Amino acid sequence: MAMKISTPHGEKNESKGRMAMKRYWLVKSEPGAFSIMDLAAAPDQRTSWDGVRNYQARNFMRDDMRIGDEVLFYHSRTSPGVVGVARVVREAYPDHTAFDENDPHYDPGSDPATPRWYMVDIRLVRMFDHAVSLKTLRGIPELQAMTLLKKGNRLSVMPVREEEFSLIVDLATQTGQPT
């Protein structure tokens, strides 16, 4: 009997011996809570992306994020914009901060036997010399389909198209960037 392989998106990215397709993401953080400077200063320039308490964001991390995927690091609220790139270095595992009643993200509904919340680990790849501001992103026609730019969007972990990722990295590399 032949083994059937299916994934949430119907892609054969786990067939044996086949290279998995690399994906691109964007994660948000309020710099007051955890900034890209904090990531740069962390041991091994690495952190667990804990505290996500939104099911859609959790599903992206738990079901779709793979080691090697690249991640745009976005600062929200304070001078909002993309400030650098990170990489997924560990795939989803239970977010233990949900079990800690002293943690601000404690969730009494999540118990260790059946964890409700998951996190991945990311490592800094590069910090941009010049942030690509939200205002700049809004001015670029090719980026208008991004979830990030949708009105009222509050997702803190979201997929990004490869072309969007590349374009934003290119913008960060250009000089004379309006801020």
Which residues make up the interface to DNA (CB under 7 A)? 28, 30, 53-56, 76-77, 80, 109, 134-135, 138, 150-156
C-beta of 15 vs 153, nearer to DNA: 153
Q: Which residue, 89 or 105, is less far from DNA as judged by CB? A: 105
The DSSP H or E segment spanning 29 is strand 24-29
For residues 15, 16, 17 and 20, what is the CA-based torsion angle, rounded to 10 degrees? 40
Find the length of the chain: 179
Q: How far is the CB of 109 from DNA (least distance, A)?
A: 7
Instruction: Give CA separation, 177 vs 20, 79, 86, 130, in Å.
Output: 35, 15, 22, 7
Neighbours of 177 (CB within 10 A): 15
Task: Please state the closest distance from residue 1 (CB atom) to DNA, in A.
Answer: 36
Kindly state the smallest distance separating residue 151's Cβ from DNA, in Å.
Answer: 6
8: left (phi over 0), alpha (psi -120 to 50) or beta: alpha
CB nearer DNA, residue 80 or residue 84: 80
Choice between 44 and 101, CB closer to DNA: 101
Q: In whole angstroms, what is the distance from residue 108 CA to residue 95 CA?
A: 13
Least distance to DNA, CB of residue 6, Å: 26
